[in-house]
Amino acid sequence: MDSFELNKIIGAVLGTLLFVMGVGFVAEAIYHPIENRGPGYALPEPEVAEAGAPAEEEPTVPLGVLLASASVENGAAAVRKCQSCHNFGEGEANKQGPVLYGVVGALQARVEGFAYSDILIQHRNEGLTWSYENLDAFLASPRGYAPGTKMSFAGVRSPEERADILAYLQTLSANPVPFPEPEAAPAEEAAPAEGEVTEVETIPEEIVAPDDASVETVTTEPGAAVETPTATQSDSRVEGTPVQETSPASPEAPAASQ
């Protein structure tokens, strides 16, 4: 290869590079965004939430109160999400989970031949039953109530929905277990009836006696008689009692008619 052909090759490479660079500059000039020209819309900056006092939790409604107003129809609709793993009819076979007929009030891990989790077998050995409170806790969080359970269900967050499900499960029994009694509200003190006389505590009163030593201080008590002093009191002033002074009769004043 002579020098002439080598120069042609080098020139072709350099020309290609220059062409690529020129195309890049032209593309950047065309598609480069124009900044700070003309009116625009400034997007609002995201507000950073400041750490404040924790929100007050809503008071928990007792389970007995929720069950008193629970709906069996809503519970039957809510358990449709469970029908892929459970049967609910009497005498039906187990699925991935045990049959739930008669579960309310029954011993935990009660179905013979079903492979329960170790934690539920432990609960059965401890004598735990499926009370309404235990069922409510299990439905809220199966893994929280029974750590290590094989059940992969996340749980039902709404207390009202859980109460509806429990109301439906109650019907799946020949002898339904009654709901727990709602907690009674504290009784308010009854106001006295109109015209009724209320007993008033008598406060002992202290009688201040005169300066005469023959009379002593007497304290009255409820139901006790007050003893009247027999000694003759003197003309001295009683402490705390104003005494009106009278001037002696003038000798020139006429005598009162008899």
> What DSSP line would sit under 130-195, residue for residue?
--HHHHHHHHH-HHHHSTT-S--------HHHHHHHHHHHHTSSSSPPPPPPPPPPPPPPPPPPTT
Which residue reads 């009278």 in tokens? 246
**245 in a structural domain:** no
Q: Could you tell me which residues come within 8 angstroms of residue 238 by beta carbon, excluding any fewer than 6 positions away?
A: 208, 209, 210, 211
**114 in a structural domain:** yes
The pLDDT score that the predictor gives to residue 188 is 45
* Residue range 39-95, pLDDT digits in tens: 666 666 777 666 555 556 667 889 999 999 999 999 999 999 999 999 999 999 999
For the record, the structure tokens of 237 come out as: 């002033």
Between 77 and 152, the more confident residue is: 77
Residue 161: pLDDT band (50, 70, 90) is very high
Select, from the ranges 3-17, 114-128, 190-204, 242-256, the one with the highest average predicted confidence (pLDDT): 114-128
**180 in a structural domain:** no
**220 in a structural domain:** no
The pLDDT score that the predictor gives to residue 35 is 63
Enclosing H/E stretch for 77: helix 72-78
**pLDDT average, residue stretch 229-245:** 48
What torsion do the CA atoms of 185, 191, 193, 194 make, to the nearest 10 degrees?
-140
Say yes or no to pLDDT of 180 above 60: yes
**192 in a structural domain:** no
The pLDDT score that the predictor gives to residue 77 is 95
Average pLDDT along the chain: 75
The pLDDT score that the predictor gives to residue 170 is 95
**139 in a structural domain:** yes
How many distinct structural domains can be found in the chain?
Answer: 1
Amino acid at 7: N
Residue (of 93, 95, 98) closest to 109 by Cα position = 98
The pLDDT score that the predictor gives to residue 55 is 54
The pLDDT score that the predictor gives to residue 90 is 92
The domain containing residue 134 runs over which residues?
A: 63-170
**8 in a structural domain:** no
Say yes or no to pLDDT of 15 above 80: yes
The pLDDT score that the predictor gives to residue 214 is 45
**104 in a structural domain:** yes
User: What CATH number does residue 68 fall under?
Assistant: 1.10.760.10
- What's the whole-model pTM score? 0.51
Alpha carbon distances (Å) from 19 to 13, 23, 28, 133:
10, 6, 14, 80
* Residue range 114-151, pLDDT digits in tens: 999 999 999 999 999 999 999 999 999 999 999 999 88
Between 15 and 244, the more confident residue is: 15
